[in-house]
Amino acid sequence: MTATLMDGNSLRDEIIAGLATQIEQMGSPAICLATVLVGDDGPSQRYVKSKHKKAGEAGMVSRHHGLDADATQEEVEAVVRELADDPSVHGILVQLPLPDGLDPEPVLDLIPAEKDVDGLTERSMGRLVRNRPGLVSCTPLGVLRLLEKYSVPTSGARAVVVGRSTLVGLPLSLLLNRKGVDATVTMAHSRTADMAAVVREADIVVGAAGQARMITADMVKPGAAVIDVGVSRTEAGIVGDVDFDAVAEVAGWITPMPGGTGPMTIACLLENTLTAARLQGL
Ligand code: GUN
């Protein structure tokens, strides 16, 4: 393998240790992350469980609200409204996707901007677009932290983000385009013509489409940084967007899957929770 491995587990541990120190120096206030999970999807349950475990390691408290898969829109909204009004809760995360039949938009928009540790509400997204301070979606933040940690040049670099979701692709494209990061960003998606040619132009490739192993070695410019955010559930288990073994022979940097962007999402969620607590005067 020629590529440098971008190790999300070790950077996550470093970030969490730093958070634990900061919280201790603040006198260990009870900084609380609340999660809401609707339904009994196995992988979602595991993600949420690891968010709570890592919150504990960072010196935070956490609270979980599980609702049955047949919960109504009103029931889900009532839980989020209660957390929004509770001054002992500093961050609220509603695990997505919600089961079919539930509309996530009105649920997310009940989260006050200062508790929106996922950066998904209209106000948080608006602040991101307007370049104003606010909480930003955790997975895109985690990608930036990895690029920074591994000194991947971004200024003037061509970045191609494959996937345009509001959770990852869209906010990440905006962050890569920001002053200080200064990449030239292309958002590619399922209707992009000649995807291979578009990706081949990139110094930084982010796979965030949820299409198993769609980014193959022939699509990658030698020396490029390749970041895998994709999650596809296949018979072989959970698979990323990048054909790792072959791409690692061409790329300059690559994230493993698992152990790349997943752990970084959790680290940045906890960073956001500390920021949220501070926004609320702690
Ligand atoms: N589902 C998969 N990733 C995420 C995430 O980062 N936040 C939320 N809320 N749901 C998710």
How confident is the prediction along the chain (282 residues), in pLDDT tens digits per residue?
799 999 999 999 999 999 999 999 999 999 999 999 999 999 999 999 999 999 999 999 999 999 999 999 999 999 999 999 999 999 999 999 999 999 999 999 999 999 999 999 999 999 999 999 999 999 999 999 999 999 999 999 999 999 999 999 999 999 999 999 999 999 999 999 999 999 999 999 999 999 999 999 999 999 999 999 999 999 988 999 999 999 999 999 999 999 999 999 999 999 999 999 999 999
The CATH number of whichever domain residue 33 belongs to comes to 3.40.50.10860
Phi, psi of 124 (to 5 degrees): -65, -45
For 240, how many CA atoms within 13 A lie in the half-sphere containing its CB?
24
- Whether residue 5 is contained in a domain is answered as no
**Kind of pairing between the strands at 225-228 and 204-207:** parallel
Co-location of 155 and 248 in the same domain:
yes
The answer to whether residue 130 sits within a structural domain is no
Establish whether 191 is an annotated binding residue.
no
Q: Quick check: is 7 in a domain?
A: no
Residue 185 pairs in a beta bridge with 159
- Residue 13, domain member (yes or no): no
The pTM score is 0.97
Claim to verify: residue 159 and residue 246 sit in the same structural domain: yes
Q: Ramachandran region of residue 242, left (φ > 0), alpha (ψ -120 to 50) or beta?
A: beta
Domain shared by 107 and 144, yes or no: no
Alpha helices (H) in the chain, listed in sequence order:
8-25, 42-57, 73-85, 104-108, 122-129, 138-149, 169-177, 195-200, 244-247, 261-279
Q: Look at residue 236 in the predicted model and tell me its pLDDT.
A: 87
Return the active site residues: 51, 95, 118
Specify whether 186 is located in the same domain as 251: yes
Give me ligand 1 centre to Cα 197, in Å.
30
Cα(228)–Cα(248) distance, rounded to whole angstroms? 12
Sheet holding 91-94: strands in order across?
61-67, 32-38, 91-94
* Ligand 1 near 261 CB (within 6 A): no
Looking up residue 197, the CATH number of its domain turns out to be: 3.40.50.720
Answer yes or no: is 163 a known binding residue.
yes
* 153 lies in the same domain as 256: yes
**Which of 12, 44, 45, 95 should be mutated for ligand 1, with most atoms under 8 A from CB?**
95
Residue 143 and residue 90 share a domain: no
Residue 231 within any structural domain of the chain: yes
The number of distinct structural domains making up the chain is: 2
Q: Is 15 contained in some domain?
A: no
> What gap in Å lies between CA 20 and CA 31, rounded to an integer?
11
Nearest CA to ligand 1 atom 8: 95
Whole-number pLDDT of residue 1 = 79
Between CA 128 and CA 175 the distance in angstroms is 8
Say whether 64 sits in a helix, a strand or coil.
strand
Residue 231, annotated as binding a ligand: yes
Q: Which domain holds residue 39?
A: 28-112
Specify the pLDDT at position 153: 98
pLDDT at position 207 is 98
Cα of 196 to ligand 1 centre, how many Å?
28
Ramachandran area for residue 96 (φ above 0: left; ψ -120 to 50: alpha; else beta): beta
Residue 145 and residue 37 in one domain: no
Asked if 85 and 150 sit in the same domain, the reply is no
Domain co-membership, 237 together with 150 = yes
Q: Please, where are the H alpha helices in 166-226? A: 169-177, 195-200
Q: Is there a single domain that holds both residue 148 and residue 246?
A: yes
Are residues 257 and 152 located together in one domain of the fold? yes
145 in the same domain as 87: no
Looking at the domain assignment, is residue 270 inside a domain?
no
* Burial label, 193 (beta-carbon count in 10 A; 0-12, 13-18, 19+): exposed
Residue 278 lies in a domain: no
